[in-house]
Structure 1
């Protein structure tokens, strides 16, 4: 935490740098804190949009396959077509998994900055206290972070695709 604080705070800017002193300085810290919390919330919203996109894309692929398979006698595709299709859907699942991972890493950094900002506030409610109450997501009975669940969804789709395409090929 000390390293983040060293990166966060400007050495030459303190209460004395503000015309009205401490009150004005605290107001600036609070405004920056609010901005950081808002940006963390926006990242979560963008992550949800990305998940919705990938879930919709995968659902459309499954629906298209189901429609194709529901025909009276669907044509037998060559194995090469099946392998190519499998590689495409696995690439989509891989991109989804890395997107979830990237958003998780980005939010981790934002929450570390928010935690460092809370050092200068009267209460450290958002990151420090709340995260401790939730046992830092380590006890699934208390709190399971969404990212722990959502990172498995692309893996589950990928495994389902491999099994489905194997069944089609044989």
Structure 2
């Protein structure tokens, strides 16, 4: 994240909050830590929802593709339209994955800013550094780079079925 973007995000995160001086030190730290824990939990829930969405779409596409192949084998009329629907489903799936990835990216940026006010920064500075900051594929392959391949492969399979249905 660019330095200017971090500054704007920091201002949006803390600019509308009650000031530290308005709290007792203990209450401020307790409230801050509770907000941090809640926010980390919400980021984890987004990741879980992303996994559930992937499982749903993988199951849907596997079932749908199998049904299409079965219908084409039986010369069902207008079955060639079904692969087009499958390709649209894959497009929707890819868009949803992109949305989840963007949401998680924003959440982890905010977690990183919050960690600047904590005694340590396990996610933002330590873990991300240990993983090569997303630049070292020997240490970490970003999940988003892998998961976007799945709807792409299904869309290609639908395209193959579509072409073969016309042959």
Q: TM-score higher than 0.5 here? A: yes
- Is 1:6–2:11 an aligned residue pair? yes
Q: CA shift at 1:11, angstroms? A: 5.8
Deviating runs (4+, > 6 A) in structure 1?
Answer: none
Asked if 2 retains the 8 angstrom alpha-carbon contact of 1:114 and 1:127, the reply is yes
- 1:154 partnered with 2:151: yes
* Equivalent-residue separation in structure 2 for 1:113 and 1:151 (angstroms): 24
TM-score, length-scaled by structure 2: 0.89
CA displacement at 1:89 relative to structure 2: 0.5
Selected match of 2:142 from 137, 141, 145: 145
User: How far apart are the structure 2 equivalents of 1:117 and 1:75?
Assistant: 59
Quote the offset at 1:168 in angstroms.
Answer: 2.4
Q: Gaps (5+ residues) in structure 1?
A: none
Q: Of 39, 45, 48, which residue of structure 2 is paired with 1:42?
A: 45
Tell me the alpha carbon deviations over residues 7-28 of structure 1, each in whole angstroms, 9 at most, x when there is no partner: 101466233212xx21221111
Considering only aligned residues, what root-mean-square deviation do their CA atoms show, in Å?
A: 1.7
2: CA distance between counterparts of 1:120 and 1:128? Answer: 13
8 A contact 1:14–1:25 mirrored in 2: no
Q: How does 1:32-111 map to 2 (within 5 A)?
A: 32-68=35-71, 74-77=73-76, 81-82=79-80, 84-111=81-108
Shift in Å at residue 86 of structure 1?
2.0
The answer to whether the 8 A contact 1:97-1:154 is kept is yes
Task: State whether structure 2 residue 122 is matched by structure 1 residue 117.
Answer: no
User: 1:120 deviation in Å?
Assistant: 0.7
TM-score for both structures, normalised by structure 1: 0.88
Counterpart contact for 1:100–1:151, Cα < 8 Å: yes
Q: Which has the larger radius of gyration?
A: 1
